[in-house]
């Protein structure tokens, strides 16, 4: 059943503070200083390590308040009892309504004790106090808070975006009884398919920036953040092309300062190193209410978001698990209006709406027993038509699977070809890779996921297919899967597939004449077509099947538009270069 989402009335209960002037509360930070007190603690874990925890309590002690916790590797600054942050919680709505906010440096980060591990592997069988992971650290923290923090109502919530989203997911495994509502937002689900790796292909531009900014070795304890990563020149295409291979990037540009870069290089296949970092199989016995949040244009953890929702759904039949998807980049729902991404407009302030009408009522309902309407199973923004939809299942019930075929003369059609002998070909040269963006930048830009693809369509090493002009609207909902039959004259190859909405030609500049808007895209490293654990070379000139999952969409192609598919084998510097010759480890391939 499909319907437009309704607005939920929210009543704000402002905290009481005597003699506060209007000038005192002009900023949220001033408001927090007036209405909250601060505590700092080293909270003991079951193995004896202590985790640094900042707690902000409402000054109003006439009633009890729920606790809302975020665990993060990115620092709980500012440190010091006299210093207050510019914001608290998921949004300003929570500050005004009154919560006890708990922020914690995870194990081995900043002022917390212990050893930090990237995406801590979950230990399902715990036999002794030293068997710790992020689930036990969250449990032990909640248990300590209940016994040592005054003025709470015995109910706890957790939330977090991206890496903190991973800690929210981990914290709700074998959930503490007081943990009643959790919102993993853009959570890491499996690092072999999230963030730095996509189907075995290395997201170079993203990994360089994130690891360079966050994973350099530093003495602990410290309140100092790492220095920002440096780029020798702003042209990432030139910068990384001249580096040669990924080993050189680590040695010459990161200067060996990121140990995890080296660990990744030593594990190109999905071996035990990566398998134990997949949290999805362990999302069991979770909190009674879960809200997974993501954006259609999340360039980092789209895989983790949809896969986490499905894993929770299948492994926790008694939990109230819902999905929220908006037209946002990574974390774009947490601030700003959410009315546009790059040149693409969405017709309303979607992020502001989400914070006030979806996120805030969710926690109010389960942590304050407020009389809020329960969220639909899936609250999803339909791009193209720019409207919110609600569904009682995701993917929506009643959708029909319809195959689209690559046809002769660049045609994309719902009718299958009559000949089985047709093919298209292109020459792929890893020394002249297809750019991933027209913009001169060394970074992975959020906007790449809605970029105009005309620059790629004009390359001879990109094959392009499109439908005739649509005479009726066409909505795509749910996962998009690609089934390719390929041959190559080499022994290895990447395949990048892009689904595109082609706007009609128009003399009106406001209508973005001819814009080729990227809707969904993905790369697949061909050596893993049969197994991510055991790569296989291609046999030159032998037809081979490659199946690719593009993940989910909800997009309406309106009348006058076209569907387009582009296929290529390089996507640089977003993705590292495949030498197109089978070698044991591409990271060390000779330039």
For 145-164, the pLDDT digits (tens) are 999 999 999 999 999 999 99
Nearest to 383 by CA among 330, 449, 453, 481: 449
What's the whole-model pTM score? 0.94
First to last CA, the chain: 55
Domains of the chain: 22-190+277-391 (3.40.50.1820), 204-275 (1.10.3020.10), 405-588 (2.60.120.260)
Nearest to 171 by CA among 146, 140, 135: 135
Nearest to 4 by CA among 308, 381, 388, 266: 388
Per-residue confidence (pLDDT) for residue 218, from 0 to 100: 76
Report the distance separating Cα 169 and Cα 233, nearest Å: 38
Per-residue confidence (pLDDT) for residue 20, from 0 to 100: 40
Per-residue confidence (pLDDT) for residue 227, from 0 to 100: 86
pLDDT in tens, 27-74: 999 999 999 999 999 999 999 999 999 999 999 999 999 999 999 999
- Residue 24 reports pLDDT greater than 90: no
- Residue 22 reports pLDDT greater than 80: no
Report the distance separating Cα 515 and Cα 521, nearest Å: 16
- Residue 96 reports pLDDT greater than 80: yes
* 476, 271 Cβ separation under 8 angstroms: no
Per-residue confidence (pLDDT) for residue 21, from 0 to 100: 40
pLDDT in tens, 433-485: 999 999 999 999 999 999 999 999 999 999 999 999 999 999 999 999 999 99
* 553, 499 Cβ separation under 8 angstroms: yes
């Amino acid at each position: 059943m499909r319907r437009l989402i309704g607005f939920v009335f929210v009543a704000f209960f402002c905290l009481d503070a005597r003699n506060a002037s209007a000038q005192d509360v002009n900023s949220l930070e001033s408001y927090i200083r007036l209405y909250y007190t601060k505590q700092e603690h080293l909270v003991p874990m079951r193995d004896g390590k202590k985790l640094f925890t900042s707690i902000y309590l409402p000054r109003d002690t006439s009633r009890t308040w729920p606790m809302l916790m975020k665990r993060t590797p990115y620092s709980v600054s500012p440190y010091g009892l006299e210093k207050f942050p510019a914001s608290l919680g998921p949004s300003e709505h929570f500050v005004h309504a009154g919560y006890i906010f708990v922020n914690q440096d995870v194990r081995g980060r900043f002022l917390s004790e212990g050893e930090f591990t990237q995406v801590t592997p979950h230990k399902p069988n715990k036999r002794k106090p030293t068997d710790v992971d992020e689930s036990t650290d969250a449990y032990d923290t909640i248990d300590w808070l209940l016994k040592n923090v005054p003025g709470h109502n015995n109910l706890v919530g957790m939330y977090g975006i991206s890496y903190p989203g991973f800690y929210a997911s981990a914290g709700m495994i074998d959930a503490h009884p007081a943990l009643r509502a959790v919102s993993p937002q853009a959570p890491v689900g499996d690092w072999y398919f999230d963030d730095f790796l996509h189907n075995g292909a290395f997201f170079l531009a993203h990994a360089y920036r994130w690891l360079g900014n966050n994973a350099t070795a530093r003495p602990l304890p410290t309140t100092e953040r790492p220095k920002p990563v440096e780029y020798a020149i702003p042209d990432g295409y030139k910068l990384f092309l001249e580096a040669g291979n990924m080993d050189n990037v680590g040695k010459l540009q990161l200067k060996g300062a990121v140990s995890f870069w080296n660990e990744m290089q030593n594990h190109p296949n999905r071996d035990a190193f990566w398998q134990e970092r997949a949290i999805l199989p362990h999302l069991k016995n979770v909190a009674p209410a879960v809200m997974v949040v993501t954006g259609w244009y999340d360039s980092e953890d789209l895989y983790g978001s949809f896969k986490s929702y499905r894993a929770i759904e299948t492994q926790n039949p008694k939990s109230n698990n819902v999905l929220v998807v908006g037209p946002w980049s990574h974390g774009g729902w947490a601030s700003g209006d959410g009315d546009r991404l790059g040149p693409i407009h969405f017709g309303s302030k979607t992020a502001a709406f989400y914070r006030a009408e979806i996120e805030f009522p969710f926690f109010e309902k389960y942590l304050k027993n407020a009389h809020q309407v329960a969220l639909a199973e899936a609250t999803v923004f339909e791009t193209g038509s720019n409207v919110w939809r609600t569904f009682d299942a995701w993917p929506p019930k009643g959708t029909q699977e319809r195959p689209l075929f690559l046809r002769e003369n660049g045609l994309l059609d719902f009718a299958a070809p009559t000949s089985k002998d047709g093919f298209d070909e292109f020459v792929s040269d890893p020394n002249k890779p297809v750019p991933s963006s027209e913009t001169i930048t060394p970074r992975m830009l959020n906007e790449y996921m809605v970029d105009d693809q005309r620059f790629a369509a004009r390359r001879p090493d990109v094959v392009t297919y499109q439908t005739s002009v649509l005479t009726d609207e066409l909505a795509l909902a749910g996962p998009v899967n690609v089934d390719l039959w390929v041959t190559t004259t080499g022994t290895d190859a990447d395949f990048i597939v892009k689904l595109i909405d082609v706007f009609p030609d128009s003399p009106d500049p406001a209508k973005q004449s001819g814009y080729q808007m990227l809707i969904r895209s993905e790369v697949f490293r061909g050596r893993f077509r049969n197994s991510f654990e055991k790569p296989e070379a291609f046999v030159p000139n032998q037809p081979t099947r490659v199946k690719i999952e593009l993940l989910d969409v909800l997009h309406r192609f309106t009348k006058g538009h076209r569907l387009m598919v582009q296929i290529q084998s390089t996507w640089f510097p977003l993705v590292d270069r495949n030498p197109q010759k089978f070698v044991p480890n591409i990271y060390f391939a000779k330039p």
